[in-house]
Every structure is written in C-alpha cells, then in structure tokens.
Amino acid sequence: MPSILIIEDDQSIRQGLAIFLAEEGHSVESLSSGMEGVQRTAEGGLDIVVLDLGLPDIDGGQALKMIRSISAVPVIVATARDEEGEIVRILRDGADDYIVKPFSGAQLQARIEAIIRRVVGGTIRAPMVVSELVVDVEQRVATLGGVPLDLTRKEFDLLAYLAERVGVVVSKRELLAEVWRQPYGGADKTVDVHLSVLRRKLGESAAESRYLRTVHGVGVKLVAPDS
Ligand code: CA
C-alpha cells in the first residue's frame, strides 16, 4: 500500500484529499505546516509527498529544498494559479511533478499512479555493461571480468550513478547531491575518499586509471578502459 504524506494548510483541502486517497487504497498522513512535513519526511517510510506551496510557516519551495537535502522521496507540488511562474523553479529544485489548484482528487490520484509506475514500481533495468565491468542495479551487484566486486552501499550507488552516464563528466557536487543527498555539502572529502576506494576495488589508481577518469577541476567519468 503506497504511503502518502499531504502537506497542506487548508483544512478542507487537506481532509478532502486525505479521505479521497485513503479510499483509493493509500496509507495517508497529513500535516498542516512545512516544518512538520520536513520532519516527518526525514523519518522516512513515505512513497510520495504532496506539498502545497503556500504554507503558513515556511515557503513550500523552501520546504522542497529541505526535503531534497534529506530524502529522495518523490514530491508532487500543488500550486495556486498565481504561482505558475514558479513551476520551472520547483521542478529544477527537485519536484517530480506539479498540480495546479483547484484540482480533483482523481487528477492527483492519476499523477500519483504515474509516479508509482515510474519510480516505485519502475521497469526492470537491464545491467549496464562497460567493457569488462557489469553493473546490475536491480540485483545491486557489480562484477569485473565476471568476478563480483565487494562494494559498500555507497560505493555501489556511486558506481551505478557513473555507469548510468558512461562517458559523461559528473561533478563532485552533483555526486554529493545525487548519491549522498547532500546538495549543500560543499568541500568535504566524501566523494574523493569513495572514488579512491572504488578505484582500488576496480584494480586501478588515479595515476593509472582504467574505468574512472578524473577530469581535473571538473569531475569524474566512467569510461571503457580502451576509449
Ligand atoms: Ca496553502
């Protein structure tokens, strides 16, 4: 049963949506302030957050950024007509979808279903093959020359993120934001340390790189060794 959190200060909208979504078979929680919503999101266990932009305590856009810094949970932002100009910003700040008020429970339900199909249910993703390296995100297994690599959870996430973008230079800031969910992480050494361990496990070093190429001052990319 998908677990949905509604963050909405208007009591009649909040209750109406909660009742509708519960009848559709969701497990529904609802809160009326942004900070309570962020705190609840931090506790985890949610499949989707429906976030109102106009909240009494903090701006919904601000709440979205806070949620994104602590969680990858899909967020649907509910905006009023006069907030439509904010939609681009909201999507860039990490919202998965938006819905313009007034909207029906049925429309929200359809958007929730679409996200669940895409994100939660997902299609089975085929293993990614880069020369001798195979990264299977479904099984969470990576092999090099047929031999399984002994990776920690974050090392695997890092390798998978790069493998999904073969040949593309990814900045350390992006890795911190996307793999570690720390968009404001700044200058810490987390990424460097993990890259260095990953290199060792792939049987290479920064001086003699094969799969992991550092592009100085820009970031890192995963490539086939002979490219
Ligand atoms: Ca509101």
Q: How far is CA 199 from each of CA 86, 115, 125, rounded to the nearest angstrom?
A: 42, 35, 25
114 CA distance to ligand 1 centroid (A)?
A: 24
pTM: predicted TM-score of the whole model, two decimal places: 0.56
Give the pLDDT of residue 129.
92
How does residue 185 score in pLDDT terms, banded at 50, 70 and 90?
low
Integer Cα distance of 178 and 5 in angstroms:
22
Residues lining ion ligand 1 (Cβ < 5 A) are 9, 52, 54
Mean pLDDT along residues 178-192: 78
| Residue listed under structure tokens 């932009």 | 53
For the chain, domains (ranges, CATH) are 3-120 (3.40.50.2300), 128-222 (1.10.10.10)
47 CA distance to ligand 1 centroid (A)?
A: 22
Which of 79-88, 89-98, 143-152, 218-227 shows the lowest mean pLDDT across its residues? 79-88
Percent of the chain beyond pLDDT 90?
Answer: 63
Give the pLDDT of residue 87.
85
